[in-house]
Amino acid sequence: MSTAKPTAEDYKEGQLLLIDKPLEWTSFQVVNKIRWLIRREHKIKKIKVGHAGTLDPLATGLLILCTGKFTKRIENLQGQIKEYTGTLQLGATTPSYDLETTVDRTFPTDHLTEDRIRAATTQFIGAIDQYPPVFSAIKKEGKRLYEFARAGEAVEIKARTISIEEFEITAIRGLQVDFRVVCSKGTYIRSLAHDFGKALSTGAHLTALRRTRIGTYRIEDAMSLDFFENEYL
């Protein structure tokens, strides 16, 4: 990104903004905040702003925002490979596969070894079928899946073919496992954590997630919302 401050016309013609999404913010809230700040600063009545791939509220990291005419690039950006780092907890599952919901089942972990944990990653490399979490924003019959889940309604979810290029265990601290994943569009890291626990016969859920790359765009080049508002805008 250029260090020069964009003008109102620049935002209309199109800007690509790399934002480090804060914890507990939805991607939609970030988009609304950026749009509001641009309109306020430049006294623009209307400006298009969209994101190129959502992040869960409990995830942080790289969110690409496009303004004005650059919103036409969103579909292409969404299709690029993504990299994540995170932490999963072995020995227990949650309905949402992360910390949005509380633990519903616990499992024995005495059989686990570091070698077994590291070896389990290999079965997820390449093209695999993955079931999205029921606590997700995917639409079915005009409703979001999480609406069915929160209402306690059973719903059939179809598997999707996704691709995992790299799945690396970076640290093991008891039942806390740090990892790095490089994957295709449409991959749910929460589902990967859940399936990883199944593979180890011990259950697992995601406790932290950070998106570090989308295509050639990296988190190191992203700015916080505070920096955007007070320094960049």
One-letter amino acid for residue 217 of the chain: Y
Ramachandran area for residue 142 (φ above 0: left; ψ -120 to 50: alpha; else beta) = left
Strands (E), 2-147: 16-21, 49-51, 59-67, 82-90, 92-93, 105-106, 126-130, 139-140, 143-144
pLDDT digits (tens, 9 = 90+) for 110-120: 999 999 999 99
pLDDT digits (tens, 9 = 90+) for 4-34: 799 999 999 999 999 999 999 999 999 999 9
pLDDT digits (tens, 9 = 90+) for 60-112: 999 999 999 999 999 999 999 999 999 999 999 999 999 999 999 999 999 99
Of the pLDDT bands very low, low, confident and very high (cuts 50, 70, 90), residue 157 is confident
Whole-Å CA distances, 231 to 10, 19, 188: 17, 13, 34
Of the pLDDT bands very low, low, confident and very high (cuts 50, 70, 90), residue 158 is confident
Of the pLDDT bands very low, low, confident and very high (cuts 50, 70, 90), residue 150 is low
**What average pLDDT score do residues 152-180 get?**
91
Q: Which CATH class is domain 8-79+216-232?
A: alpha beta
Which H or E run includes 181? strand 176-183
> Per-residue pLDDT for 178 more than 60?
yes
CATH 3.30.2350.10 maps onto the chain at 8-79+216-232, 82-214
Active site residues: 56
Question: Which CATH number among 3.30.1950.10, 3.60.130.10, 3.30.2350.10, 1.10.10.10 corresponds to the domain 82-214?
Answer: 3.30.2350.10
pLDDT at 132: 86
